[in-house]
Amino acid sequence: MVEVNGHMSKAMFNPPLMVREVGLLLLLSLIWGGSFTLIKIAVDSIPPFTMVAARLMVAAPLLVLFCRLRGFSFPRERTVWIAFLVQGLLQSALPFTLITQGETQIGSGLAGVLNATPPIFVLLIALVSSRGRQSLDGRKITGVTLGLGGVVVTIGWDALHDMGSAAAMAQLAVLGASLCYALAPIWGRRFIGLPAPVTAAGAMSCAALLLLPAAIIIERPWSLAPTGEAVLAVIVLAVLCTAVAMVLYFRLIRTLGALGTTSGSYLRAGFAVLLGMLFLDESLTWSGLAGMALILLGVVCVTLPSRRMEG
């Protein structure tokens, strides 16, 4: 059974509701998988800092509006907003920028699969804590090993020997984004008493304020000449892949539970590869396919519930 905040998910007792929620999970996976394709389209004429700043400056007000319509109030304490700033850095500003920078050199499908590795990083972080080590079992350790092996195979031995190459650095940037996504929920535990949409809106607002000065100083966005296709891609990224996706995400956390919602990461990676091949004519080498398969298998081993939870 799936538990949400200590209670069984209502969807588990209502088959029609379960079908609807699984459909929404598929939709969310498609939306987030498509974000890698949209980034690849936009990055041709909009540089990373400007693209991410625009994405956040549109999405953050929409999330704030959503919170207002739901009747949520925002905290006033300075310490909470400082914590939001760190959360925004880990959850949005830094990973969005790293992924976008990475996609200037690598395909969207490859970026999508490499970005399916946060559960592996979570387990690696657990290895340094006594509490985390107690929760490890043979299957999870196997999953971490498979995942790391998949990363090596995907990046390629040649790239590992030449870590200064643009492609290798791009893949490491996407893996850095995965590390951010692994750290974000650990830091986010301090917001347990706040409604999740408030945390998302507060963190994303802070992330927008972080990226806007960087975009202005480094890339001078007023001097750019983006294509109409790139501008449309950024708008869809902001509205659909960020604001709407976050609302869907919090709904699914409530109905399917955290574990069920996390399973969408496998689907997201698959959609990223499929959409990249369909719309961007991306192709995969056999070594790339093998590495991606190892990564996804490793993530499955890491995230599947243990036998004692399944009962």
Q: What is the pLDDT along the chain (311 residues), one digit of tens a residue?
A: 333 443 445 555 566 767 788 888 889 889 999 999 999 999 999 999 999 999 999 999 999 999 999 999 999 999 999 999 999 999 899 999 999 999 999 999 889 888 888 877 877 787 776 555 556 677 777 877 887 788 777 766 555 555 567 888 898 999 999 899 888 888 888 888 888 889 999 999 999 999 999 999 999 999 999 999 999 999 999 999 999 988 888 777 777 766 566 666 667 888 888 899 899 998 877 777 787 788 778 777 776 665 544 44
pLDDT at 193: 85
What local confidence, expressed as pLDDT, does residue 88 receive?
94
The secondary structure element, H or E, covering residue 20 is helix 15-42
User: How far apart (Å, rounded) are the C-alpha atoms in residues 110 and 113?
Assistant: 5
Residue 304 neighbours by CB distance under 10 Å: 15
The first and second tokens of residue 27, run together, are 């939709």
Q: 170, 104 in Cβ contact below 8 A?
A: yes
User: What pLDDT shows up at residue 204?
Assistant: 93
Give the CA dihedral 249, 252, 254, 257, nearest 10 degrees.
-110
Q: Which helix (H) or strand (E) holds 3?
A: strand 3-4
Angle of CA points 128, 131, 132, to nearest 5°: 55
- Copy the structure tokens of residue 261: 């919602």
Give the pLDDT confidence score for residue 311 in this predicted structure: 46
- Helix H or strand E encompassing 274: helix 264-279
